[in-house]
Amino acid sequence: MDAAPVVTCTSCNRVWRSAAMAEGLRYVGACPRCGGELEFHDAPARQKPEPEVEALEGVEPHRALGIPKR
């Protein structure tokens, strides 16, 4: 039995049934097939908290990112 659609295109009626596809389509913002508007049937994914800028203040770049390979 097929799962219920998580995302539907209002123009071409294409449906997607996976949460991973829904998350990707939120970034794309339009139907990849026809460019139409997307209707999401699930709750939006929780936004990841932004890293604290103050936590990295004064830290040398190589300490945060690692020593670059040459």
Whether 9 and 33 have beta carbons less than 8 Å apart is answered as yes
pLDDT value at position 62?
77
**Tell me, what's the pLDDT at 36?**
94
- Is 57 inside any structural domain? no
Q: Is residue 70 part of a domain?
A: no
Containing structural domain, residue 36: 1-45
Residue with tokens 């294409």: 14
**The CATH number of the domain where 4 resides is what?**
2.20.28
| Residue 41 covered by a domain | yes
pLDDT at residue 33 in the model: 93
Number of domains forming the structure of the chain = 1
From residue 21, give the alpha-carbon distance in Å to each of 47, 52, 63.
16, 29, 35
Does 61 map to a domain? no
Q: What is the pTM of this model?
A: 0.58
Walk along the chain (70 residues) and give the pLDDT tens digit of each residue: 578 999 999 999 999 999 889 989 988 999 999 999 999 997 765 666 666 667 777 888 778 788 777 7
